[in-house]
Amino acid sequence: LLSLERIKRMGFAVHGHGEWSPDGKKILMIIGKSLSELNIYLLDIETDTLEQLTDREGINTDPSWSPDGQEILFIGCPETKKCKENQHEIYSIPVSARKAKDAKRLTNDKVSANDVYVSPDGKRAAWLHLKGWVPLSLETFISDYSKENGITNIKSCKGGLTNWMPDSSGLL
């Protein structure tokens, strides 16, 4: 794809893996000059256009599509200092908005959230919570989720994966 060549020419690199849209026509990508300065981009496969969705200080990573493809959940740091303190939060942004200023913070618990995923039925969200670095401790959280109310009714659950079963009955 031509967009990937443009990314290299701009001095940026793709970090992590892409996240395909539910309709298979777009890919969310993490792009940045360094690991401390990452933003989320949307690559349209049909037109080979690349659009920057987030333009925020710090880290914006781990994007995940809502099942209907209308919203993106991602992990972000409100500011660089909080990134260094491992305080990543969950945000959402409507695909139609396509501007970071329209991102809505869904958590505010001053912890490190990673790998957020919405269930296939769109009613719940799950993510990993990192505690410390040495020793590293993982805890999985599950919550109710809706576009109107965001993340509510947060509960800790056993396990270290956030991939949903196809029928939304639980995590793999």
Please give the structure tokens belonging to residue 43.
């690559």
97 CB contacts (<8 Å, ≥6 apart)? none
Is the pLDDT at 78 greater than 50, yes or no? yes
pLDDT confidence band for 33 (50 / 70 / 90): confident
**% of residues, the chain, pLDDT over 90:** 6
Structure confidence at residue 135 (pLDDT): 47
DSSP state of 165: P
pLDDT at 145: 75
| Rg, the chain, Cα only | 16
pTM score of the predicted model = 0.78
| C-alpha span between 134 and 16 (Å, rounded) | 23
Q: How far apart are CA 151 and CA 7, in angstroms?
A: 34
Which amino acid appears at position 1 of this protein? L
And the tokens for 166? 């196809």
Task: For the beta carbon of residue 12, count every other beta carbon within 10 angstroms.
Answer: 17
Q: What phi-psi label fits residue 65: left (phi over 0), alpha (psi between -120 and 50 degrees) or beta?
A: beta
DSSP labels, 71-136: EEEEEE-SSHHHHHTT--EEEEEETTT-SGGG-EE---SSSEEEEEEE-TTSSEEEEEEEE-SSS-
Mean of pLDDT values over 9-14: 69
